[in-house]
Structure 1
């Protein structure tokens, strides 16, 4: 694939893809809750003998992995160039 020409390559949104941002945030919160569930006080009397932090952390980490995998497998393609509208780039309804 090293013989790809510049016209065949496509740009992707990369780190600015919203799925990467959401996945990273959910992953960070998930890891924090996971660690609190493992090492923190379980407070089982408040949650009915369920370690809520642990289970919420696991769920958030799983959803984070799904978002990041989705962004990796189906990246957003950015067009090479975008043609400007005939009105000089002004938004609809704009008056001088």
Structure 2
């Protein structure tokens, strides 16, 4: 019986793409944020840090999917 990798249909890739998209949006919002808004959050640019954390999380998910792919049996 042959085996095939799940590839783009792996749920980890889909999750990584969605979290990565949200991470990019938050990072951009954090970069263009006004200082008055940052001061409301005790001086922490939470959009920037949250976006960076989401990008790191998405990268870890993609790395996990690449290093340990799901193998699907193929019927012949």
What is the TM-score when the length of structure 2 is the normalising length?
Answer: 0.88
Q: Which has the higher helix share?
A: 2
CA-based RMSD = 1.4
Q: Which runs of 5+ in 1 are unaligned?
A: 1-6, 82-96
2:51 match: 57
What is the match of residue 4 of structure 2?
Answer: 11
Q: Report the Cα distance in structure 2 between the residues aligned to 1:28 and 1:70, rounded to whole angstroms.
A: 18
Give every structure 1 segment of 4 or more consecutive aligned residues whose post-TM-superposition deviation is greater than 6 Å: none
Instruction: List gaps (5 residues or longer) in structure 2.
Output: none
Name the structure where strand makes up a greater proportion of residues.
Answer: 2
Q: Tell me which residue corresponds to 1:45.
A: 39
**Residue equivalent to 1:28:** 21
The total of aligned residue pairs comes to 74
- TM-score normalised by length of structure 1: 0.71
Give the C-alpha shift of residue 27 in structure 1: 0.5
| Higher relative contact order (CA closer than 8 Å, sequence separation 6+) | 2
